[in-house]
Structure 1
Amino acid sequence: METTDLPLGFTLDLPDWMEAELKLLPDAVPDLAARMALVLRLARLNTERQSGGPFAAGVFERDSGRIVAVGVNRVVPSACSSAHAEIMALSLAQQRLGVYDLGGPDLPAHQLVVNWSPCAMCFGAVLWSGIRSLAIAGSDPAMMAITGFDEGPMPHEWRQELAGRGIELIEGMLREESLADFRRFAASGQAVYNGRQGA
């Protein structure tokens, strides 16, 4: 490869079907369970449309429920191992608001809602994003056992790390519904994209 072939940039996009879905969303979702249900629907659609892995995330204003951005996993179609749902949602929220810190001055508190606990990479992104609340469907090994995804070496005290940075953690929102969706993904035979298959 010649150095003239080196890339100057890259783009990550949500799938084409998302445009119609975004038009159906309300401006705000005040109820936390309804926020998770929205995220689960997007993850399910991502599996059904085979447009990425079985993960979705949303950034909301924590108190009002205003939707700031949503994201789904785009690793395989984007040929980008960092295109996880959390990265997509957080990045789109930051771009929409024109900030790198979602917890910056004069901003409302923001919440990230995800259909499972973050992987090692996305955990770091959560810490640096400025969100003040993280809501997840579950955090135990059940998802990895069902799907075969490798979520990486999370810090043993990850909950305390969140708390120490003033990030509220809400666990167990619609856990069984989320696990049912992961079982559907596993049965679909779609790619499980662990780098080097964990070797």
Structure 2
Amino acid sequence: MDTSALATSFGARLPDWVAAELAGVPEVLATDEDRIRLVNRLAERNHRENTGGPFAALVVESGTGRLLSAGVNLVLASGLSSTHAEVVALSLAQTRLGAWDLGAPGGPGLELVVNWRPCVMCYGAAMWSGVRRLLLAGDGPEVEALTGFDEGPMREDWVEQFDARGIEIVRGVLRDEAVEVFRAYGERDDAVVYNARGAAAEATASRSA
């Protein structure tokens, strides 16, 4: 087999606007509200910049509030379906620390901050990353109802599954603010909803037809 045409690497990088947006952000985000307010802001700008969907995530030291990484959804910018905000933020934190296990013994307790409950893919990514806390603006049907994105077949006992693995879940911080970001995306005439297939994709296609 001629392997010369096969891809042997892949990757993604944050758009330049993210660094500009973070330039004025303090290194320490002291409260849950500070952390969620930032992810909501990044999620809003991400879709306005047309670099991805209205999603953002951070990895933060729980005890100190020190920001380790920030990620936004890069599916459109990278052409990679796996580059959801959670995966981007976790990967950048792992790269910075040089460790695949963000919960390794001797290190600080880390948390993943997201502007909504993870989709089915990011559910697994968060669970296996090593973070010990998951801070969410909210959970529920609003993302799918307002944007048309298919979040996948999440387990009804997803909170209990995290808890069983020693991962604390905190929900409902600045929830209404997060919902307004999704509403704004769903109201855009040019919003791209990148569901590969299924009922949600068909509904989106019929809505835009």
TM-score by length of 2: 0.92
In 1, Cα distance between the equivalents of 2:177 and 2:22? 22
Residue 138 of structure 1 and its aligned partner are, at CA, apart by: 1.3
Aligned length: 199
Find the counterpart in structure 1 of residue 193 from structure 2.
Answer: 192
Residue 63 of structure 1 and its aligned partner are, at CA, apart by: 1.1
Find the counterpart in structure 1 of residue 206 from structure 2.
Answer: none
Counterparts in 2 of 1:18 and 1:28: CA distance versus 1, 3 Å: same
Pairing of 1:7-18 with structure 2 (within 5 A):
7-18=7-18
In 1, Cα distance between the equivalents of 2:16 and 2:152? 30
In 2, Cα distance between the equivalents of 1:75 and 1:95? 20
In 2, Cα distance between the equivalents of 1:85 and 1:52? 9
Q: Which letter does structure 2 place at the counterpart of 1:92? A: L
In 2, Cα distance between the equivalents of 1:147 and 1:12? 24
Q: Which letter does structure 2 place at the counterpart of 1:12? A: A
In 2, Cα distance between the equivalents of 1:197 and 1:187? 22
In 1, Cα distance between the equivalents of 2:19 and 2:113? 20
Residue 52 of structure 1 and its aligned partner are, at CA, apart by: 0.6
Pairing of 1:18-33 with structure 2 (within 5 A):
18-33=18-33
Residue 192 of structure 1 and its aligned partner are, at CA, apart by: 0.4
Q: Which letter does structure 1 place at the counterpart of 2:55? A: F
In 2, Cα distance between the equivalents of 1:30 and 1:37? 12
What whole-Å deviation, never above 9, does each CA across 1:120-140 have from its counterpart, x for those lacking one?
Answer: 010000110000000111111
Find the counterpart in structure 2 of residue 122 from structure 1.
Answer: 122
Pairing of 1:136-175 with structure 2 (within 5 A):
136-175=136-175
In 1, Cα distance between the equivalents of 2:150 and 2:197? 11
Identity of aligned residues (%): 48
In 2, Cα distance between the equivalents of 1:97 and 1:18? 20
Residue 156 of structure 1 and its aligned partner are, at CA, apart by: 2.1
After TM superposition, the structure 1 stretch with the greater mean CA deviation from structure 2, 164-173 or 15-24, is 15-24
Alignment RMSD, CA only?
A: 1.4
In 1, Cα distance between the equivalents of 2:42 and 2:142? 20
Residue 84 of structure 1 and its aligned partner are, at CA, apart by: 0.1
Aligned residue for 2:145, secondary structure, equals helix
Q: Which letter does structure 1 place at the counterpart of 2:77? A: P
What whole-Å deviation, never above 9, does each CA across 1:36-85 have from its counterpart, x for those lacking one?
Answer: 00110100110111111100000000111000000000001211110000
Aligned residue for 2:80, secondary structure, equals coil
What whole-Å deviation, never above 9, does each CA across 1:82-137 have from its counterpart, x for those lacking one?
Answer: 00000000000010001101100111100111000000010000110000000111
Residue 22 of structure 1 and its aligned partner are, at CA, apart by: 2.6
In 1, Cα distance between the equivalents of 2:48 and 2:19? 16
Residue 174 of structure 1 and its aligned partner are, at CA, apart by: 0.8
Q: Which letter does structure 2 place at the counterpart of 1:124? A: G
Residue 197 of structure 1 and its aligned partner are, at CA, apart by: 4.7
Residue 3 of structure 1 and its aligned partner are, at CA, apart by: 3.2
Aligned residue for 1:111, secondary structure, equals strand
In 2, Cα distance between the equivalents of 1:67 and 1:77? 24
Runs of 5+ consecutive residues of structure 1 not aligned to the other structure? none
Find the counterpart in structure 2 of residue 97 from structure 1.
Answer: 97
